[in-house]
Every structure is written in C-alpha cells, then in structure tokens.
Amino acid sequence: MQTLKNLLAQIQEVSDLKGLEALRLQVLGKKGELTQEFSALKNLEGKQKAQKAQELNQLKEAFTHAHASKKKRIARFGARG
C-alpha cells in the first residue's frame, strides 16, 4: 500500500485531467490499490481490523480531497494546475 506522502506526490506530478483520472482509478477504481486494501479487511479481526479500516479511511479521505483540489486547479488554470 502506498503512503499518503507518495499519493500526494503523484497527484502533484499530474498535469492534466486525463492523467488525474487515471491516477484516481489506479487508487480508487474497482481494482484499485485502496479498494483491494479495503477488501482485505475481511481477513483481519478485532482491533487490528478497526485500526486498519481507520487508516484506510483517512488515506482515502486525504487522497479524495487532494484529488478534488488538483482537479479544480487544472480546470481553472489548465495544464499548469
């Protein structure tokens, strides 16, 4: 699983909407990295499962927020976003 720092760096490197959407699908798509991590939660139990779920939710929320911000910047300023 990628770290938040790595995901945010990838978002910053993207320069167009097509690339940004490809990154979103890589992370959150049906076969995306986070989607697979969420699916793997069924193999954990108790506190470990709760802790991992909380970490994944925080990562997803931060990624989604950063993605939306970058999307707005690209839409507003073009490929320089």
The pTM (predicted TM-score) of the whole model is: 0.88
Lowest mean pLDDT among 24-33, 36-45, 70-79: 70-79
Which residue, among 30, 14, 31, has the nearest Cα to 66 in the 3D structure?
14
Average model confidence (pLDDT) across the chain: 94
pLDDT at 78: 76
Q: Number of helices and strands (H, E) in the chain?
A: 4, 0
Identity of the residue numbered 38: F
pLDDT tens sequence across 21-36: 999 999 999 999 999 9
Which residue, among 59, 56, 61, 63, has the nearest Cα to 24 in the 3D structure?
63
Task: Give percent of the chain with pLDDT exceeding 70.
Answer: 95
CA 47 to chain centre: 24
Please answer whether residues 32 and 26 qualify as being in contact, where contact means their C-beta atoms are separated by less than 8 angstroms: yes
